[in-house]
């Protein structure tokens, strides 16, 4: 394939280009590009023992591409006709397919099934017709492979990401159009060359990984669109001829951060390194030169790429996730000396104590009937063992994929009820992480309003209180509006035991607060 043909192909992958609809049409295949993704490899390696395959996700995740690649193998292994779109089935057909899946799970049928579906639609119907079906499907059975593509991070596997970029962007022959006025300085050629260097591949991987870490989802089709745009900026050779020089700085790969109307490109432009201040070398005399310098430096600085992106606390969040991804995958909150985790602990303390510096942990749990005029504060949790842990850590269960790095982690309490241990967890994603870090550094000062994050943290501690009723040491009643006859006070329960008779007594001490 010549460079000119490669450019014509790439622009069709760009969502902004008029011919993009051609590539969206699943009936049109790109025979020159076909990378085997991790999910496809797992199916191929285990197809002889798998009886049920369920792939869920949104349009563009690559479900149909995988099905096309393995259709011959599935037919050879005796799979039934695939369900290519569960959402498109009639209600009767959906019900029938749910029952067929149940019969296979119960050993009443030797049928082998593969289903492609929207996760919400499939789950809804599974619960409607068989309330225990999802529980049984996700019970880590050897004969079931179920995967939700919406939780996939295409940038997680370094080698697989390199394979995608190399296979998708490579071409074999130079441009045949030697009469082109920018033949010797072709921007397309330069962009592909720079992006396929180690620095370029890692920079694009960092961008995609950052989208995932911040809670976004990048489909396979969107990844290809992003790579295409970085090379072509949605213009083919003929459309580019209107510019005086083909290698105009506007069309250089590092300007992928330029703002655009496409929703995917907005996710990228929001992280533009040029939005951050930083040192620069050489002669820079204008804002435009500084912007180009910062963007180019991002692509050439592998050691500081997460730091250079315009995203609050992203380097710290990434560092903690890497930390949680190392054995033993959990860390005692009271002993852990990791600087970032200690900042999170301070942030939580400040949040739930409304800014007070009490030595103990304060849990605000005030009924709405008081309308904010009276605040109840439970003081305690000093002797409770809390842990920071990896998101998928479960007591007594082996993690399904130890190498996977999630975009969230947990603060957990180990509950022990009737000898059964479970984790009560507060899930910390990027947004809550930033909120806690701001609280720790006192950037968040509006302590009079309960936000969603505050509510989540307090709910976590209330769940712990429900498990252990005597967990708190005292309760403080504070009045927001006071007069001469009203003052804050606290109640503390003291329990004593007679050493001779063993009789236990409880005393409630009421103390006026300052």
Q: How many angstroms separate the CA atoms of 467 and 220, rounded?
A: 44
In the predicted structure, residue 24 carries a pLDDT above the cut 50: yes
- Residue written as token pair 């982690």: 409
Q: Which letter does DSSP use for residue 252 in this model?
A: S
Give burial (CB, 10 Å; 0-12/13-18/19+) of 135: exposed
Q: What is the pLDDT of residues 182-199, one digit of tens each?
A: 777 788 999 999 999 999
Stretch 221-230: mean pLDDT: 94
In the predicted structure, residue 167 carries a pLDDT above the cut 60: yes
Residue 146: pLDDT band with limits 50, 70, 90? very high
Q: How many angstroms separate the CA atoms of 61 and 66, rounded?
A: 10
* pLDDT > 90: percent of the chain: 45
Q: Coil, strand, or helix at residue 173? A: strand
**Minimal CA–CA distance to 53: which of 80, 23, 88, 18?**
80
Residue 286: pLDDT band with limits 50, 70, 90? confident
Half-sphere exposure of 267 (CA within 13 A, CB side): 17
Cis preceding linkage at 328, omega within 30? yes
User: Using H for helix, E for strand and C for coil, what is the string for 196-246?
Assistant: CCHHHHHHHHHHHHHHHHCCCCCCHHHHHHHHHHHHHCCCCHHHHCCCCCC
Give burial (CB, 10 Å; 0-12/13-18/19+) of 12: buried
Residue 498: pLDDT band with limits 50, 70, 90? low
In the predicted structure, residue 231 carries a pLDDT above the cut 50: yes
Q: How many angstroms separate the CA atoms of 462 and 473, rounded?
A: 14
**59, 150 Cβ separation under 8 angstroms:** no
Q: What is the pLDDT of residues 307-353, one digit of tens each?
A: 999 999 999 999 999 999 998 899 988 888 899 999 998 888 777 66
* pLDDT > 70: percent of the chain: 85
Stretch 160-175: mean pLDDT: 91
The radius of gyration of the chain's CA atoms, rounded to the nearest angstrom, is 29
**Minimal CA–CA distance to 401: which of 331, 341, 329?**
329
Q: How many residues does the chain have?
A: 514
**202, 266 Cβ separation under 8 angstroms:** no
pTM of the predicted structure, to 2 decimals: 0.82
Q: How many angstroms separate the CA atoms of 452 and 435, rounded?
A: 11
Query: Which residues, listed in sequence order, are joined to residue 475 by a DSSP beta bridge?
Result: 378, 491
| Range with lowest mean pLDDT among 133-142, 276-285, 320-329 | 276-285
In the predicted structure, residue 358 carries a pLDDT above the cut 60: no
Stretch 122-131: mean pLDDT: 92
**Long-range CB contacts for residues 398-401, cutoff 8 Å, separation at least 24:** 399/329, 400/140
pLDDT of residue 445: 52
Give the sign of the dihedral formed by CA 278, CA 280, CA 286, CA 292: negative
Q: What is the pLDDT of residues 66-85, one digit of tens each?
A: 999 999 999 999 999 999 99
Cβ-count burial 397-407 (b if 16+ within 10 Å, e if not): eeeeeeebbbb
pLDDT of residue 397: 80
pLDDT of residue 443: 78
Query: Which residues, listed in sequence order, are joined to residue 148 by a DSSP beta bridge?
Result: 56
Q: How many angstroms separate the CA atoms of 53 and 113, rounded?
A: 6
Give burial (CB, 10 Å; 0-12/13-18/19+) of 275: middle
Helices (H) and strands (E) counted in the chain, each on its own, are: 19, 12
Q: What is the pLDDT of residues 415-473, one digit of tens each?
A: 877 778 888 999 999 999 999 999 888 776 554 444 556 667 878 877 877 776 565 66
> At residue 106, what are phi and psi to the nearest 5 degrees?
-85, 0
For the chain, what are the domain ranges?
Answer: 51-141, 156-308, 320-471
More confident position, 217 or 29:
217
pLDDT of residue 380: 58
In the predicted structure, residue 247 carries a pLDDT above the cut 60: no
345: which residues sit within 8 A by CB, 6+ positions away?
A: 333
Q: What is the pLDDT of residues 257-275, one digit of tens each?
A: 998 878 889 999 999 999 9
Start-end of H helices in 19-90:
20-24, 38-46, 63-76
CA distances in angstroms from 202 to 209, 265, 280, listed in the order given: 10, 18, 22
> At residue 169, what are phi and psi to the nearest 5 degrees?
-95, -15
**Minimal CA–CA distance to 204: which of 294, 82, 334, 298?**
298
Q: How many angstroms separate the CA atoms of 35 and 196, rounded?
A: 16
In the predicted structure, residue 491 carries a pLDDT above the cut 70: yes
| Range with lowest mean pLDDT among 46-60, 71-85, 353-367, 468-482 | 353-367
Q: Coil, strand, or helix at residue 278? A: coil
């Amino acid at each position: 394939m010549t460079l000119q043909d490669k450019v014509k192909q790439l622009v069709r992958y760009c969502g902004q280009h008029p011919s993009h609809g051609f590539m969206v049409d699943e009936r049109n295949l790109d025979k020159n590009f076909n990378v085997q993704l991790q999910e496809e490899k797992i199916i191929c390696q285990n197809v002889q023992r798998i009886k049920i395959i369920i792939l869920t996700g949104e349009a563009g995740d690559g479900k149909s591409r995988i099905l096309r690649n393995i259709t011959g193998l599935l037919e050879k292994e005796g799979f039934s006709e695939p369900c290519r779109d569960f959402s498109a089935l009639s209600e009767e057909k959906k019900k029938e397919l749910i029952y067929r899946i149940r019969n296979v799970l119960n050993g009443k049928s030797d049928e082998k099934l593969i289903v492609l579906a929207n996760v919400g639609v499939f789950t809804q119907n599974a619960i409607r017709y068989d309330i225990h079906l999802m529980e049984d499907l996700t019970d880590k059975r050897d004969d079931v492979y179920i995967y939700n593509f919406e939780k996939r991070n295409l940038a997680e596997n370094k080698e697989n990401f390199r394979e995608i970029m190399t296979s998708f962007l490579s071409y074999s022959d130079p441009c045949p159009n030697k009469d082109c006025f920018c033949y010797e300085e072709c921007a397309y050629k330069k962009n592909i060359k720079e992006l396929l260097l180690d620095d370029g591949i890692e920079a694009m991987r960092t961008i995609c990984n950052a989208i995932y870490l911040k809670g976004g989802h990048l489909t396979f089709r969107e990844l290809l669109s992003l790579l295409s745009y970085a090379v072509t900026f949605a213009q083919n050779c003929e459309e580019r001829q209107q510019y005086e020089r083909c290698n105009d700085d506007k069309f250089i790969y590092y300007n992928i951060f330029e703002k655009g109307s496409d929703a995917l490109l907005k996710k990228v432009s929001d992280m533009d390194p040029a939005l951050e201040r930083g040192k620069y070398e050489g002669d820079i005399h204008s804002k435009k030169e500084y912007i180009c310098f910062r963007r180019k430096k991002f692509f050439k600085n592998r050691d500081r790429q997460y730091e250079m992106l315009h995203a609050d606390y992203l380097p710290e969040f990434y560092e903690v996730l890497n930390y949680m991804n190392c054995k033993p995958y959990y860390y005692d909150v009271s002993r852990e000396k990791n600087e970032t985790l200690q900042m999170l602990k301070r942030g939580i303390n400040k949040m739930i104590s409304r800014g007070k510096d009490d030595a103990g942990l304060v849990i605000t749990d005030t009924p709405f009937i008081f309308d904010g005029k009276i605040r109840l504060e439970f003081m305690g949790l000093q002797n409770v063992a809390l842990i920071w842990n990896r998101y998928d850590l479960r007591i007594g269960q082996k993690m399904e994929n130890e190498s996977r790095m999630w975009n969230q982690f947990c603060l957990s309490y180990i509950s022990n009820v009737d000898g059964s241990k479970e984790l009560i967890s507060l899930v910390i994603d990027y947004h809550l992480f930033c909120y806690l870090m701001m609280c720790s550094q006192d950037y968040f000062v509006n302590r009079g309003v309960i936000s969603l994050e505050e509510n989540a943290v307090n709910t976590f501690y209330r769940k712990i209180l429900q498990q252990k009723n005597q967990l708190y040491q005292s309760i403080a009643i504070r009045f927001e509006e006071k007069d001469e006859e009203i003052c804050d006070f606290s109640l503390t329960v003291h329990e004593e035991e007679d050493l001779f008779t063993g009789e236990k007594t409880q005393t409630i001490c009421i103390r006026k607060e300052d």
